[in-house]
């Protein structure tokens, strides 16, 4: 391995300050459903975001991505699966990590706890605290960082989201159905 010594300016381009991050309120097909409203911040890499306009703050992901999720109490992400491992780490508040085809299995997690879901498992998360909270999601995989990866949504989630006029097109991006 060649050892390099980046300048301060070069490292500034690899710095994501929270105050500078831009969120998407509609980063996924489920976000129009009230219980799944949340803010998504792409920190490193695009990850599996379905909002084509949500750029990553640090684009050099090299086979992993980091996303911050902000949600009000009772809100989070619907059941979904990936072909990759996905890790959730609460930064603030209390969260429920849930899984299974019916989402009937659940573990409460708190700041700095780490839960890792294997590929092919329907999983979701929900803020179970008393106030707004933040969670970090990490996805590791060459595929997820090179082409944005794809989300497999539980059939009920897709049916409900289509009723709101939102779908995911063949490229994996959100599209209005009119």
**End-to-end CA separation in angstroms for the chain:** 52
pLDDT of the residue at 120: 92
> Does pLDDT of 148 surpass 80?
no
In a domain, 17, yes or no: yes
pLDDT at residue 20 greater than cutoff 80: yes
Give the model's pLDDT for residue 177. 85
What DSSP assignment string belongs to 72-129?
Answer: -TT-EEEEEE-SSEEEEEESSS-EEEEESTT--EEEEE-TT--EEEPTT--EEEEE-S
Number of domains in the chain: 1
Confirm whether 3 is domain-assigned: no
pTM score, whole prediction: 0.92
Separation between Cα atoms, residue 131 and residue 95, nearest integer Å:
11
Q: How far is residue 109's CA from residue 77's CA, in Å, rounded to a whole number? A: 15
**Would the pLDDT of 178 be above 80?**
no
Percent of the chain scoring above 70 in pLDDT: 95
In a domain, 149, yes or no: yes
Distance (Å) of CA 118 to CA 82, 87, 115:
8, 9, 10
Average pLDDT on 90-119 reads: 97
* pLDDT for 144 beyond 60: no
Total length of the chain: 178
Give the domain extent around 47: 8-171
CATH of the domain at 54: 2.60.120.10
Q: Is 123 a member of any domain?
A: yes
pLDDT of residue 67: 96
- Please state, rounded to an integer, the average pLDDT across all residues of the chain: 92
Binning pLDDT at 50, 70 and 90, where does residue 33 land? very high
The answer to whether 45 and 66 have CB atoms below 8 angstroms apart is yes
Q: Is the pLDDT of residue 145 over 80?
A: no
């Amino acid at each position: 391995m060649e050892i390099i010594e980046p300048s301060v300016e070069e490292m500034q381009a690899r710095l994501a300050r929270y105050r500078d991050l831009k969120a998407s309120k509609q980063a996924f097909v489920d976000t129009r459903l009230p219980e799944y409203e949340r803010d998504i911040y792409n920190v490193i890499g695009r990850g599996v975001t379905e909002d084509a306009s949500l750029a990553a703050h640090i684009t050099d992901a090299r086979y992993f991505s980091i996303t911050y999720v902000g949600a009000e109490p009772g809100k989070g992400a619907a059941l979904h699966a990936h072909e990759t491992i996905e890790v959730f780490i609460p930064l603030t508040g209390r969260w429920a990590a849930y899984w299974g085809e019916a989402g009937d299995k659940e573990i409460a997690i708190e700041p700095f706890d780490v839960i890792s879901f294997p590929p092919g498992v329907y999983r979701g998360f929900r803020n179970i605290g008393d106030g707004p909270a933040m969670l970090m999601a990490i996805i590791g995989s060459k595929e997820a960082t090179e082409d944005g990866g794809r989300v497999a949504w539980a059939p009920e989630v897709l049916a409900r989201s289509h009723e709101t006029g939102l779908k995911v097109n063949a490229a994996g991006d959100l599209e209005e159905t009119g």
